[in-house]
Amino acid sequence: MSDQAQPVINYFKRIIPVDDVDRVMIGNAFKLVHVKKRQFLVQPNFVATHRNFVVRGAFRSYIVAEGGHEHTIAFAIDDWWITDYNSYIFQRPSTMFVVALEDSIVLQIDFEKENMLKAAHHKYETFFRTIAERGLAFYLRRLISNLSHSAEERYREFEKNYPKVVQRVPQYALASYLGMTTEYLSKLRNQRMKKPDG
Amino acid sequence: MSDQAQPVINYFKRIIPVDDVDRVMIGNAFKLVHVKKRQFLVQPNFVATHRNFVVRGAFRSYIVAEGGHEHTIAFAIDDWWITDYNSYIFQRPSTMFVVALEDSIVLQIDFEKENMLKAAHHKYETFFRTIAERGLAFYLRRLISNLSHSAEERYREFEKNYPKVVQRVPQYALASYLGMTTEYLSKLRNQRMKKPDG
DNA sequence: TGAAAAAGTTGAACTAGTTCAACCTCCTTT
DNA sequence: AAAGGAGGTTGAACTAGTTCAACTTTTTCA
């Protein structure tokens, strides 16, 4: 059996040592899933059953607010994780969608198998602690950016930090991630803002 | 020696079992510190050396953006943690202030002692993983609120969820936490917004 | 391949929230 | 008790970003 879990094993190796026994345990915990564009991994009112590691492809999580406005919460491309953490961690009904933006391949671990890993060995707990801490730090930086920068600054900053995401993601999704309308982002990109003078 | 660390031990007990050995280990890891109103626990360009558990008192973390505008990142009152996570987790220079809003008492653990605890026993790793996950979920909810609600909705929601914080925190700090100006929050609170008609 | 759907663009009118400035009201601290 | 500062209030003028509507371009898939 070829090791389909290799991509996520490589990811684990960046954080904790992985020996042959671990290789098998991790391989058994994750299952490889092909996801078609526009297919959902999570939907509101259902509990997010899996944490998803993106082997190849692109995803977006978003909520639909009153008035039908969508707000993108996260993107995930190759080598990133995605799920609804509020739903997954507490095993409560989700409030968001997670959808594939391209035909994608993910490695999924479900909540129970993740808990078994965590219980099985100290170092798996270390692994999940580390990615939770990094995720926390990431959302903190994003919150700071949202509070302290203008729409244009947020866009320029994102473009600089995540050029690959900008290229692969539809503009309406990026706009709603950055907290602005599609129209406004379009204007920002095309420099057709009102000019000071003629 | 009376157990000064009891408040944080109680907090640990809500997440992992704590026996007499643990009690000593936790007691040795944390030190009790009295902090005067307006005293800083973290300042920009210095590495956040400690994670702080608030025994009694109130704190606020904030950044100062260009133009001198302050943005409150977090509050912490009794039984909450506070630090600059981006600085503490990665042991890099901070970009924010953490200041006491009242005379306060905290239990501090430093980065090295925290790592020793994590290394010493699987269950301490579980503890820190759990609080990191909860912190992540918290910031995620806040991000969602910021993206999808108006200034007034954010205020009403916060007032409902954290009435105790609203009472203990100066209004300018609350306004900048909620992503609006002091003046605007003042107007929201006093219902002196422009009326539809006379 | 071609029709429909999805995504993106542009401009004009609008508004939620900011800015600025002046003033008020408490706390502190001596 | 007085002075000074920090925090809060109010109104008028302003603006960053939204809304709406009409249109163009690109993608999808039968």
**Which of chain D's bases lie under 7 Å from a protein CB?**
7-12, 16-21, 28-29
Q: What are phi and psi for residue A178, nearest 5 degrees? A: -85, 0
CB–CB of B139 and A136 under 8 A?
yes
User: Has residue B129 been placed in a domain?
Assistant: no
Domain hosting A30: range is: 6-120
Torsion of CA A183, A185, A189, A190, to 10 degrees: 20
SS3 A163: helix
Query: pLDDT category, A67, cuts 50, 70, 90?
Result: confident
pLDDT at A66: 84
Same domain, B105 and B13: yes
- B20 & B103 share domain: yes
- Work out how many domains chain A is built from and give that number: 1
From residue A128, alpha-carbon distances to A110, A123, B117, B178 in Å are 14, 9, 16, 30
Mean pLDDT of chain A: 94
In a domain, B142, yes or no: no
Distances (CA, A) of B20 to A95, B13, B17, B175: 42, 12, 10, 44
CA distance B24 to chain A (A): 21
Q: What is the residue-wise DSSP string for A166-182?
A: HHHS-HHHHHHHTTS-H
- Per-residue model confidence as pLDDT tens digits over A99-129: 999 999 999 999 999 999 999 999 999 999 9
Q: What is the pLDDT of residue A32?
A: 96
> Is the backbone of residue B45 left (phi > 0), alpha (psi -120 to 50) or beta?
left
β-bridge partners, B56 = B105
Interface test with A, best of B140, B149, B154 (most A CBs within 10 A): B140
Spanning CA of B147 to C1' of D18, the rounded length in angstroms is 14
Strand C nucleotides within a 7 Å radius of protein CB atoms: 7-12, 16-21
- D3 C1' to B182 CA distance, Å: 26
Q: How far apart are CA A103 and CA A101, in angstroms?
A: 7
| Residue A116 within any structural domain of the chain | yes
A135·B136 Cβ contact <8 A: yes
Q: Are residues B86 and B172 in the same domain?
A: no
Grade residue A192 by pLDDT with cuts at 50, 70 and 90. Answer: low
Residue A151's Cβ-count burial label (10 Å; 0-12, 13-18, 19+) is middle
Report, as an integer, the average pLDDT of A118-145: 97
* Residue keyed to tokens 């070829």: A2
B15 and B107 share a domain? yes
Tell me the nearest-neighbour CA distance from B19 into chain A, angstroms: 19
> Do B96 and B177 belong to one domain?
no
Long-range Cβ contact pairs of A117-125 (< 8 A, separation 24 or more): A117/A25, A117/A26, A117/A29, A118/B126, A118/B129, A120/A25, A121/A22, A121/B122, A122/B121, A122/B122, A122/B125, A123/A16, A123/A17, A123/A22, A124/A16, A125/B122, A125/B125, A125/B126, A125/B129
Q: Is the Cβ of B143 closer than 8 Å to some Cβ of chain A?
A: yes
CA A42 vs. chain centroid, Å, equals 12
In tens, the pLDDT along B62-105 reads: 999 988 899 999 999 999 999 999 999 999 999 999 999 999 99
> Is the pLDDT assigned to residue B172 strictly greater than 70?
yes
CATH code of the domain covering residue A84: 2.60.120.10
Q: How confident is the model at residue A198 (pLDDT cuts 50, 70, 90)?
A: very low
CA B181 to C1' D23, in angstroms, rounded, equals 38
The minimal CB distance from B144 to the residues A63, A90, A135 is found for A63
Calculate mean pLDDT across residues B130-136: 98
Q: What value does the mean pLDDT take over residues A173-181?
A: 97
Residues 88-117, chain B, touching A (beta carbon < 8 A):
89-90, 95
* B58/B80 Cα distance (integer angstroms): 9
Name beta bridge partners: A47.
A93
And the tokens for A164?
């690959």
B130 assigned to some structural domain: no
User: H or E stretch including B194?
Assistant: none
C-alpha gyration radius of chain A: 19
Nearest C-alpha of chain B: how many angstroms from A36?
27
- Quick check: is A78 in a domain? yes
Helix and strand numbers (H, E) in chain A are 9, 8
Residue B197, pLDDT above cutoff 50: no
Query: b/e string for B97-133 if b means 16 or more Cβ within 10 A?
Result: bbbbbeebbbbbbbbebbeebbeeebbbbbbbbbbbb
Chosen from B144, B145, B157, B180 to mutate, greatest number of chain A CBs within 10 A:
B144
Which pLDDT does position B2 carry in this prediction? Answer: 58
Is the pLDDT score of A19 beyond 60? yes
Evaluate if the CB of A39 falls below 7 Å from strand D: no
Say how far apart CA B73 and CA B81 lie, in whole Å.
Answer: 13
d(CA A155, CA A176): 11
Q: How far apart are CA B5 and CA B105, in angstroms?
A: 11
Same domain for B103 and B157, yes or no, is: no
